[in-house]
């Protein structure tokens, strides 16, 4: 495990306070035209190498005394301006990374895509203007917002977010339904997009209410110029029987509607799976056996969020009422990865193409989905929070990561992590990995002691002279809880020894 330095911890804290402004005033204020906003955004999205590569040489911040950028920083209207000078100076000592030519193009469901990054079926891809803007910025494709034969009535408001401590946004809930445009309008959007962007991939997400509608929608989307049909079997809050996740929980309905869709198209078909189920493989197998080409996973998770303990109302608050909605965002990534792993380890599904989604914000998130076997990636919640511009660091960060590891093509990392995830009974249970304390980095806060005593095995005591931890080896079981909670990153996994 790589331990963060104090400098890295400080940088992360500094950049997390940035508002990530549109048309950022800090950049406009810099007399040397340093792209401070873009650099900070790259750091925020874990693309440190990309941030360093954007620095000017020599760095103007070293000799700048005016601090015009920080005076212009809008964060200062809330509390304190982002310390732009400290951020730039902190990363200026890092060597610039030479980007070797890396091919991000990849084949998916028989189609060649310029990169694996697609918008997922949602409000972020729901009309011509929006999708065209995303394509211009570098997104390779879109799963257009789910199209049906009807236009639903929407509620207001329909979004809310989950926060924790000083983090304003760790999860997201929506109670939005399928496209609020007419069928005719949606068909025209698809036709125009394909005409104007012939090299981009158009995935038409559809949802029917019976076999006839699934077949008809598939025919219409095929004629409109779609490249792939995605069957939405998984929306968790559609207001109608037989819709959304009610379908995905039933292998019989999945098979029935996949067959009906196949009757209407020769195009590749993705079955979009619900996570509101114990074993996704069962419905996924039913879809593949019924004619699907691949799987899309995961859709949002059924949720209730933000109960007000004064009024006992929940959010989104629609005249004092709400409903179960879909939970998404970074917090669902581990759940998405688990489902994808399970499908890739299922003999009936191991060769099925998977479009992965659920909590992808950074290139690192994306690489994790690829490493577990996905060949395509879809993003919504991060775009809703930060905008289409995140594609810049998704692409740049991915290229720099691949080139730094000696890869020439993004396809080389697909499935690389699968062999390292094994059944629990196959793990080595005959050895212990003890924690290693870095006493120079330790600040003496005692968090490791508290967690170990109250939530572990009472294997840490505090040295009264230094206020720093001492390991009681005879009690330590090597759980590494202490390394997880240490805010100074002064505890790392140490030597592994066989149990006596």
pLDDT tens, position by position, for the chain (500 residues)? 445 567 888 899 999 999 999 999 999 999 988 999 999 999 999 999 999 999 998 898 888 888 899 999 999 999 999 999 999 999 998 998 887 889 999 999 999 999 999 999 999 999 999 999 999 999 999 999 999 999 999 999 999 999 988 778 899 999 999 999 999 999 999 999 999 999 999 999 999 999 999 999 999 999 999 999 999 998 876 655 566 666 889 999 999 999 999 999 999 999 999 999 999 999 999 999 999 999 999 999 999 999 999 999 999 999 999 999 999 999 999 999 999 999 999 999 999 999 999 999 999 999 999 999 999 999 999 999 999 999 999 999 999 999 999 999 999 999 999 999 999 999 999 999 999 999 999 999 999 999 999 999 999 999 999 999 999 999 999 999 999 999 999 999 998 999 97
Is 109 annotated as catalytic? no
- Best CA proximity match to 392, nearest among 51, 19, 137, 200: 137
- Look at domain 431-498 and name its CATH class: alpha beta
Please return the burial class of 380, using the count of CB atoms within 10 Å of its CB with bins 0-12, 13-18 and 19+. buried
Nearest to 85 by CA among 98, 68, 97: 68
The catalytic position among 73, 109, 235, 448 is 235
Task: Enter the tokens of residue 267.
Answer: 């195009």
Q: Parallel, antiparallel, or unpaired for β 167-174 and 325-328?
A: antiparallel
Which CATH architecture best describes the domain 4-89?
Orthogonal Bundle (1.10)
**Under 8 Å between Cβ of 147 and 221:** yes
pTM of the model: 0.95
Residue 404 tokens read as: 């730094």
Q: Is 367 exposed, middle or buried (0-12, 13-18, 19+ CB in 10 A)?
A: buried
**Residue 408, H or E segment:** none
Are the CB atoms for 177 and 238 separated by under 8 Å? yes
Res 2: pLDDT? 47
Alpha helices in 264-308 (DSSP H): 280-289
Is it true that 106-420 and 431-498 share their CATH fold?
no
Helix axes 211-223, 251-263, angle to 10 degrees: 40
CA 248 to chain centre: 22
Report whether CATH 3.20.20.70 matches the domain 106-420: yes
Both structure tokens of 280: 């996704």
Give the start-to-end residue ranges of the domains of the chain.
4-89, 106-420, 431-498
């Amino acid at each position: 495990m790589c331990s963060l330095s104090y400098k890295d911890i400080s940088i992360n804290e500094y950049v997390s306070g940035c508002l990530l402004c549109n048309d950022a005033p800090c950049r406009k204020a810099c007399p040397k035209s340093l792209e401070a906003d873009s650099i900070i955004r790259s750091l925020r999205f874990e693309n440190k190498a990309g941030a360093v590569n954007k620095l000017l040489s020599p760095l103007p911040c070293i000799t700048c005394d005016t601090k015009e950028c920080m005076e212009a920083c809008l964060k200062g209207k809330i509390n304190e301006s982002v310390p732009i000078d400290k951020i730039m100076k902190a990363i200026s000592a890092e060597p610039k990374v030479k980007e070797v030519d890396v091919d991000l193009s990849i084949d998916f469901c028989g189609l060649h895509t310029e990169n694996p990054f697609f918008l997922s079926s949602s409000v972020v891809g729901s009309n011509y203007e929006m999708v065209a803007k995303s394509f211009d910025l570098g997104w390779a494709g879109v799963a257009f917002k789910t199209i049906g034969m009807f236009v639903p009535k929407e509620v207001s408001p329909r979004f809310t977010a989950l926060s924790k401590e000083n983090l304003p946004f760790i999860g997201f809930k929506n109670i939005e339904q399928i496209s609020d445009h007419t069928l005719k309008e949606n068909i025209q959007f698809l036709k125009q997009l394909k005409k104007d962007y012939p090299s981009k991939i158009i995935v038409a997400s559809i949802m029917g209410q019976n076999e006839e509608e699934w077949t008809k929608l598939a025919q219409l989307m095929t004629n409109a110029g779609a490249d792939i049909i995605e069957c939405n079997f998984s929306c968790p809050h559609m207001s109608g029987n037989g819709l959304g996740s009610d379908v995905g929980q039933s292998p019989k309905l999945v098979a029935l509607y996949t067959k009906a869709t196949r009757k209407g198209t020769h195009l590749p078909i993705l079955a979009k799976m619900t996570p509101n189920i114990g074993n996704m493989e069962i419905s996924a197998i039913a879809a593949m056996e019924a004619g699907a080409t691949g799987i899309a996973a995961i859709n949002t998770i059924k949720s209730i969020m933000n109960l007000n303990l004064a009024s006992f109302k929940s959010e989104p608050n629609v005249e004092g009422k709400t409903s179960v909605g879909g939970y998404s965002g970074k917090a669902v990534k581990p759940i998405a990865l688990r489902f994808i792993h399970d499908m890739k380890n299922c003999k009936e599904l191991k060769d099925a193409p998977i479009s992965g989604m659920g909590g992808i914000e950074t290139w690192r998130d994306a690489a994790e989905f690829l490493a577990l076997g996905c060949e395509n990636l879809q993003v919504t919640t991060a775009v809703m929070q930060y905008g289409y511009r995140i594609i810049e660091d998704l692409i740049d960060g991915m290229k720099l990561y691949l080139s730094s590891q000696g890869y020439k093509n993004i396809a080389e990392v697909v499935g690389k992590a699968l062999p390292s995830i094994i059944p629990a009974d196959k793990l080595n249970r005959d050895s212990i990995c003890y924690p290693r304390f870095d006493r120079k980095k330790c600040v003496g806060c005692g968090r490791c002691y508290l967690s170990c005593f109250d939530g572990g095995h009472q294997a840490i005591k505090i040295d009264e002279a230094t206020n720093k931890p001492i390991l009681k080896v005879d009690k330590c079981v090597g759980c590494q809880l202490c390394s997880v909670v240490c805010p100074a990153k002064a505890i790392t996994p140490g030597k592994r020894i066989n149990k006596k």
